[in-house]
Structure 1
Amino acid sequence: MKLPALVSIRFFEATARNLSVKCAAEELHVTSGAVTQQVRKLEGFLGRPLFERRSRGLKLTTEGLDYYLACQEALTLIGRATDKLMTNENQVVLVSCTPGFATQWLVPRLQDFMYQAKDIDVRVSTSNRKVDLRKEGIHFAVRHGMGEYPGLQSRVLLADDLIPVCSPRLIAPQKTATIDFVREELLLHDEHRGDWRLWFNAAGINHIKSDSGIVFVNSNAVIEAAIAGRGFALVHRALVESELASGLLIALESLTLKTPIAYHLVYYPDTLIDSVSRRFFDWIIWQSKKSSI
């Protein structure tokens, strides 16, 4: 079996991922000339070009793209196998999600996984920014959107209906809470801000300004504000199951909104090759199915 030098593979993978010799050199802490030399050596070894070199930058050839994907998968497996041999600690799965999703959905369920998989540590990184899974060593990310992420796989985790909720104190002493109680100055929004507009349009309500009210950085802050009686929140039912059960929040009698926007589990295809990541993936998909029942 003929194999090229590993250093050439590393330099090619970084160049192909960034589509930039300069960016690859900065990432690898070498000169641009060193990157170019290693990529040329690899192309010479293979007997064919891997890039189309244009005035505006690099583009992978069809064969180059296939080779890049194979190299990326191989380097990932080598890295994980090396980490496993060099440490006696538990294996780690790193998950990135928003603070709201972590607090309201993921963390309350994680005890179940920890009980089943005592040899795996799940580390939850909470952020509202879009993370780079490969560069930051993140196995899975949870993203709120339409599920279209180029180069990544995605599975729906949470796609239940959006419902309006509030504290029972906000509508007391009336016993029945309806949409008639909602006032525009009491609308609570997360950073997406578009859910109330979609909901009002679906309900045929046009006398309330959907962009009024207070905007919070995440859904967790919206839910906390609703519990405190500060206004009306529009949330996925699964995120407030315990609050509804305990009476901290009540759901208004109204239509429910089905939306194409959902919480998706996002990951690179080669992530599931690793048995540790696969165990977490199987568990969280199972949990999501339980939530949809």
Structure 2
Amino acid sequence: MNPLNRIPLTGLRAIEAVARLGSLSAAAEELGVTPGALSQRISRTEAQLGQPVFDRTGSGLRLNALGRDMGLRLSRGMAELSAAAMLADPGQDDLLNVSVAPLFASRWLIWRLPGFTAAHPAIRIRLEPVSRMVTPGIDGVDVGLRVGRGDWPGLKAEKLLEQRVMPVCAPTLAERIHQPADLLRLPILRENDLLAGWQEWLAPHGVDARAIPDGPTFTDGGLCLDAAISGQGLFMAWETLASDALSRGQLVTPLPGRSDTGDSYWFVTASGARRKPAIARFRDWLRNELAMTARDWPS
């Protein structure tokens, strides 16, 4: 007997959604049910499977070994099912739903979209700025713009640009910086108390990141950039996100040198899905825009 005959697809969808999104509440919102109803659905499915998929902890559901294996396989399977459904219902070929991180959307992408619209007036772009990782082909989006290593099962990831970081600050603050050690005498801006990128940038200059002084902390990278523009301190910024402020002279790079983060920007679509013609046009335009931005960066 095929195991699928005894396990409802809704139960498998519930397991996949929680495994992919990492929380019961996020999965319930995506599936349009209450967290309580989703929890009951998962419990019934586990009973039908004959063993648990999640461990119950004080902080919520946590995948066990079986759940981790099932989650990866279910995500690939759901992507294939979604792609099959799209073959019969192609939808609007002139509309692209694009999932993108809010900061990248507001600091870089939104200012360049009019150029795409002018070049392709028949294509409409609908941006969905969300911080969580959205899966094309499952979450109702055609394209995901992601930062990472490109190793997402069941998805087609095309590299757009390597991600690098460098310290930036207001021009008035840069006047006090002549060598890497000078950075340690100025406030260092933090996003969520983190000092991401500083160790990688400072180490080649012979400076220990543990000597970094205190500085203002913000919960959003955009606020960190604004604080840097206003002269409140130095921020280790992504090249793309700081590029426009640098070109306008609001920010400067007080010292040369960029550090690789090991991550890249990726153009992500559902593997095997029917490709709208607009997807390739948007990808090519995006790659060209990023390349033009990179050409303007100081070496």
Report whether the alignment pairs 1:147 with 2:150.
yes
How do residues 258-269 of structure 1 correspond to structure 2 at under 5 angstroms? 258-269=260-271
C-alpha distance after superposition, 1:179-234 (max 9, x if no partner): 33323761123356422233233433116445843333333222111110011011
CA distance in 1, matches of 2:255, 2:210: 17
How far 1:75 sits from its partner (Å)? Answer: 0.4
Contact 2:187-2:215 within 8 A present in 1 as well: yes
| One-letter amino acid of the structure 2 residue matched with residue 159 of structure 1 | E
How far 1:54 sits from its partner (Å)? Answer: 5.2
CA distance in 2, matches of 1:148, 1:65: 14
State the match for 1:198 in structure 2: 200
Structure 2 residue ranges without an equivalent (≥5): 17-26, 42-47, 54-66
CA distance in 2, matches of 1:272, 1:202: 46
Report whether the alignment pairs 1:129 with 2:105.
no
Contact 1:202-1:257 within 8 A present in 2 as well: no
How do residues 90-169 of structure 1 correspond to structure 2 at under 5 angstroms? 91-169=94-172
Deviates more, 1:213-222 or 1:120-129: 213-222
- TM-score norm. by structure 2 comes to 0.67
CA distance in 2, matches of 1:189, 1:284: 29
CA distance in 2, matches of 1:66, 1:139: 16
How do residues 216-231 of structure 1 correspond to structure 2 at under 5 angstroms? 216-231=218-233
CA distance in 1, matches of 2:100, 2:289: 16
C-alpha distance after superposition, 1:227-270 (max 9, x if no partner): 10011011233332332233211112243212212332322124
Contact 2:150-2:266 within 8 A present in 1 as well: yes
What SS does structure 2 have at the residue aligned with 1:182?
helix
How far 1:96 sits from its partner (Å)? Answer: 2.0
Change (3 A) 1:18 1:169: same
State the match for 2:88 in structure 1: 78
Deviates more, 1:245-254 or 1:266-275: 266-275
Contact 2:163-2:262 within 8 A present in 1 as well: no
Structure 1 residue ranges without an equivalent (≥5): 1-7, 36-51, 85-89
How far 1:101 sits from its partner (Å)? Answer: 0.9
State the match for 1:236 in structure 2: 238
What SS does structure 1 have at the residue aligned with 2:133?
coil
Superposed CA RMSD in Å reads 3.9
CA distance in 2, matches of 1:133, 1:209: 43
Change (3 A) 1:28 1:275: same
What SS does structure 1 have at the residue aligned with 2:247?
helix
